[in-house]
Homo-oligomer: A and B are copies of this chain.
Amino acid sequence: MKLYDCTTAPSPRRVRIFAAEKGIELDKVQIDLANGAQFSDDFRAINPDCVVPVLELDDGTHITEVLAICQYLEELYPEPSLFGRTPAERASTIEWHTKIEQQGLMPMRDAFRNSAKGLKGHALTGPVQYEQIPELAERSRHCVTTFFERLERQLAGNEYVAGAFYSIADITALVLADFAAWIKIGLPDGAVNLLRWHQKAASRPSAKA
């Protein structure tokens, strides 16, 4: 198996952490997003959405989308479980994974791509050129902060994001928190549970992957 990766981007980092937690070694091919390698004909044939990560199987199949890649790896390497061990735990994991992607990562993407000087004409990932909408960048920053407050309330009653167990939801949330900090959206003041959780998640060896 081969992972199309980019060390500076948040989405492939999620797969790298997931694989590190399971001790899976993946061959990695770096795609130079900063210089537009994702728009080359070669890479479009691998993923028409022009984004990483992509997992290439030995039979040549390409799996895109982080959740699909991680679920596939979970089936091949079930231990340690990163999706929960019971139907209720798995439901909570998918529930929080979805919330973090849609209420956290996607607004963070919109905040970043609709304001960064280097991304004019690339307000969305993918092959279509879209102009930035500054008002959307502003609104999206507010959404990310609001979502951190929601996570703070969840973590007030739970050791990890989806419950009493570490899961893919913690990986998704860690990458959200770290990339948000990089674009100057910090954790809210007084979010003691979020801070406690972040220190714990960030100190796992996998966080360096």
Chain A interface residues toward B at CB < 8 A: 48-49, 57, 61, 63-65, 67-69, 71-72, 75-76, 87-88, 90-92, 94-95, 98-99, 101-103, 106, 123-124, 128, 130, 133, 135-136, 139, 142-143, 146, 150, 153
B76 x A61 contact (CB < 8 A): no
* Nearest-Cβ distance from residue A104 to partner chain B, whole angstroms: 13
Please name the 4 residue pairs, one residue from A and one from B, whose CB atoms are nearest each other, closest first. Answer: A68-B95, A68-B94, A72-B91, A65-B98
Contacts of A71 in B (CB 8 A): 90-91, 94
Which chain B positions have C-beta within 8 A of A124? 143
B64 adjacent to A95 (CB under 8 Å)? yes
* Chain B nearest Cβ from A83, distance in angstroms: 10
Contact partner of A94 (CB less than 8 A), chosen from B67, B91, B103, B142, is B67
Complex Cα spacing A87 to B68, Å: 10
Q: Is the CB of A91 within 8 A of B69?
A: yes
Who on chain B is nearest to A83 by CB? B71
The CA of A76 and the CA of B86, in the complex, are separated in Å by: 11
Taking a contact as CB atoms under 8 Å apart, the answer to whether A92 and B106 are in contact is: no
B48 engages A68 (CB within 8 Å): no
Closest B residue by C-beta to A87: B75
Cβ contact within 8 Å between A88 and B61: yes
Contacts of A130 in B (CB 8 A): 139, 142
Do the beta carbons of A87 and B94 come within 8 Å of each other?
no
Instruction: Please measure, in the bound complex, the distance between the C-alpha atom of A124 and the C-alpha atom of B106, giving whole angstroms.
Output: 13
Residues of B within 8 A of A91 (CB): 63, 68-69, 71-72
The residue of chain B having its C-beta at the shortest distance from the C-beta of A55 within the complex is B91
Once the chains are docked, how many angstroms separate the CA of A64 from the CA of B128? 32
Most buried by B among A61, A68, A99, A146: A68
